[in-house]
């Protein structure tokens, strides 16, 4: 089957930490009639194919009129986003002022070899997702969306240029985000569990409305277990984790908890992990998106299973 030849208006490239914000931008772009190339839309297309080659085509001038990299600290530190960015630079040589539309996240210092100080950019914190979609629409089509004019901070009076406090949206819900994270972990562990059989292990995943149980066995021997609970340790506003080869069952046990928080810098929901021993690092606090938390938990399970199997 040949490669699709449809050229989209815009392709977005970002690190996982900005996914929630970018998803909202993509949705608003669609409302405005823009076609946007988004990594999850390529899942079936790239199924069974080389992902690196596929994404290089996507961002290398073959699939979109414009590309928008969301340049954050995480973006510059991860190999996949940076590979996408390097792919953008090739067609940008042919049309240096009309291909890359950079969006800078936070106070990241972008090296001049990646983004010249002379190149104009937008700063994520200056725009809501809807406003940024409006900006993309204006750049791509040359017209502003009807009835959705934005008062530019840079062109307003001096008083409007002053910084105002970042706030948590009134609609942010700790419990809704908690349930969303719990559902995501449940779905992803169920999808990933069959992969264990490729290495000779059996991974079973069971869940109720408030508890997820993951068990890994080999030849009938329990190697590792993890319970993820909605609430625990006398609280109902956390995910509670109980892990290890032998579980002390019940909601009075805990190897760590995760609490939903709103990151006002990126405008996204995060999970603040209070880690006692889930990841084996002892006391500590780390922030995850729900996607990052699943990946970290899965990798921890794999690491532990490998160690326990070698010691058996």
pLDDT tens string for the chain (312 positions)? 344 455 788 889 998 888 999 999 999 999 999 988 887 776 666 666 656 666 677 777 677 889 899 999 888 888 888 888 888 877 666 665 678 899 999 888 887 777 777 678 888 988 999 999 999 999 888 776 654 544 444 444 455 445 567 778 888 899 999 999 999 999 999 999 999 999 999 999 999 999 999 999 998 889 999 999 998 878 899 999 998 766 555 556 889 999 999 887 777 889 999 988 888 766 566 889 889 999 999 999 999 888 877 655
Which pLDDT score is estimated for 151?
Answer: 44
Which residues have CB under 8 Å from 311's CB, separation 6+? none
Residue with tokens 């992803």: 188
Q: Which two tokens stand for residue 278?
A: 């889930």
| 71: nearest Cα among 110, 126, 111 | 110
| C-alpha distances out from residue 185 to 51, 191, 208, 262, Å | 24, 10, 13, 19
Beta carbons within 8 Å of 212's beta carbon, 6+ residues apart: 182, 185, 186, 189, 205, 206, 227, 228, 229
- Superfamily of domain 8-161, CATH level 4: Toll/interleukin-1 receptor homology (TIR) domain (3.40.50.10140)
**Residue 135 Cα distances to 118, 235, 252, angstroms:** 20, 43, 50
The reported pTM is: 0.52
First CA to last CA across the chain, in angstroms?
47
Question: Pairing between strand 268-275 and 202-207?
Answer: unpaired
Residue 153: what pLDDT? 45
What is the reported pLDDT for 95? 62
* Phi/psi-derived region of residue 216, left when phi > 0, alpha when psi is between -120 and 50, beta in every other case: beta
Instruction: Give residues with Cβ within 8 angstroms of 234, minimum separation 6.
Output: none
Question: Phi first, then psi: what are they for 132, rounded to 5°?
Answer: -70, -40
Question: Residue 64 class from Cβ within 10 Å (0-12 exposed, 13-18 middle, 19+ buried)?
Answer: buried
Distances (CA, A) of 169 to 173, 261, 274: 9, 11, 24
Backbone angles phi, psi at 257, to 5 degrees: -135, 155
Q: Are the C-beta atoms of residues 115 and 71 closer than 8 Å to each other?
A: yes
CB of 166 within 8 A of CB of 179?
no
Backbone angles phi, psi at 176, to 5 degrees: -65, -40
Every domain of the chain with CATH number 3.40.50.10140 lies at 8-161
pLDDT of residue 144: 65
How much is the pLDDT for 244?
77
Residue 256 forms beta bridges with which residues? 241, 275
Distance between CA atoms of residues 282 and 256, nearest Å: 9
Whole-number Å distance between alpha carbons of 196 and 202: 6
């Amino acid at each position: 089957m040949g490669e699709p030849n449809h050229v989209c208006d815009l392709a977005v490239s970002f690190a996982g930490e900005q996914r929630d914000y970018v998803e909202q931008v993509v949705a608003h772009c669609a409302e405005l009639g823009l076609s946007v190339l988004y990594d999850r839309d390529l899942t079936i297309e790239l199924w069974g194919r080389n992902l690196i080659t596929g994404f290089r085509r996507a961002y290398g001038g073959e699939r979109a009129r414009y590309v928008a990299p969301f340049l954050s600290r995480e973006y510059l530190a991860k190999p996949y986003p940076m590979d996408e960015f390097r792919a953008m630079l090739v067609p940008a040589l042919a049309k240096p002022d009309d291909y890359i539309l950079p969006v800078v996240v936070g106070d990241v210092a972008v090296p001049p070899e990646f983004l010249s100080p002379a190149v104009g950019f937008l700063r994520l914190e200056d725009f809501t997702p809807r406003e940024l979609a409006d900006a993309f629409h204006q750049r791509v089509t040359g017209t502003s969306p009807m009835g959705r004019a934005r008062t530019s901070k840079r062109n307003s009076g001096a008083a409007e240029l002053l910084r105002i406090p970042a706030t948590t949206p009134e609609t942010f819900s700790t419990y809704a985000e908690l349930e969303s994270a719990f559902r995501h972990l449940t779905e992803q562990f169920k999808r990933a569990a069959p992969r264990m059989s490729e290495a000779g292990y059996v991974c079973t995943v069971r869940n109720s409305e408030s508890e997820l149980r993951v068990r890994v066995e080999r030849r009938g021997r329990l190697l590792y277990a993890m319970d993820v609970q909605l609430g625990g340790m006398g609280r109902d506003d956390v995910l509670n984790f109980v892990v290890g080869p032998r579980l002390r069952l019940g909601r009075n046990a805990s190897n760590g908890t995760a609490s939903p928080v709103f990151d006002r810098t990126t405008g996204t929901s995060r999970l603040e992990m209070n880690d006692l021993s889930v990841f084996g690092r002892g006391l500590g606090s780390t922030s995850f998106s729900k996607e990052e938390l699943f990946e970290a938990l899965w990798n921890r399970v794999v690491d532990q299973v490998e160690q326990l199997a070698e010691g058996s």
